[in-house]
């Protein structure tokens, strides 16, 4: 797959390859920045400029937290990152970026329970 446009000078002689524009991630829910905050919250910014907070405190302290219970340790929670446009932590923990985007777009915040 080409990630750069094919220009006429790049084409091998006698080969008719289609010209395609470069691939650009365009899904508005792709997270581009994430910052951990106090009280088990994160601040996120999406590719379209939408930004807001995710409050994970109710979830990480819930008896039904499951894998998210690991994030109740502030040092682990602070290791938040981004992988393929999604908010992630070690141990294959991630958040659904499309659901996060929809809630933040509507309410400015997403509270996970």
pLDDT tens digits for 38-47?
A: 999 999 999 9
Would you say 85 and 25 are in contact if contact means Cβ atoms under 8 Å apart?
yes
pLDDT band at 8; cut points 50, 70, 90: low
Alpha-carbon span 62 to 1, nearest angstrom:
45
pLDDT tens digits for 13-32?
A: 555 556 666 656 568 899 99
pLDDT tens digits for 100-112?
A: 999 999 999 999 9
Length in residues, the chain: 113
* Helices and strands in the chain, H and E counts: 3, 7
CA angle, 68 then 109 then 38, to 5°: 60
């Amino acid at each position: 797959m080409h990630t750069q446009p094919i220009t006429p000078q790049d084409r091998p002689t006698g080969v008719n390859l289609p010209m395609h524009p470069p691939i650009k991630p365009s899904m508005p829910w792709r997270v581009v920045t994430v910052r951990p905050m106090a009280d088990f919250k994160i601040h996120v910014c999406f590719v379209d400029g939408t930004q807001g907070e995710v409050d994970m405190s109710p979830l990480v302290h819930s008896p039904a937290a499951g894998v998210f219970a690991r994030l109740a340790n502030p040092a682990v929670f602070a290791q938040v990152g981004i992988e393929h446009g999604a908010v992630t932590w070690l141990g294959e923990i991630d958040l659904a970026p499309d659901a996060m985007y929809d809630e933040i777009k509507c309410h400015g915040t997403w509270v996970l329970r």
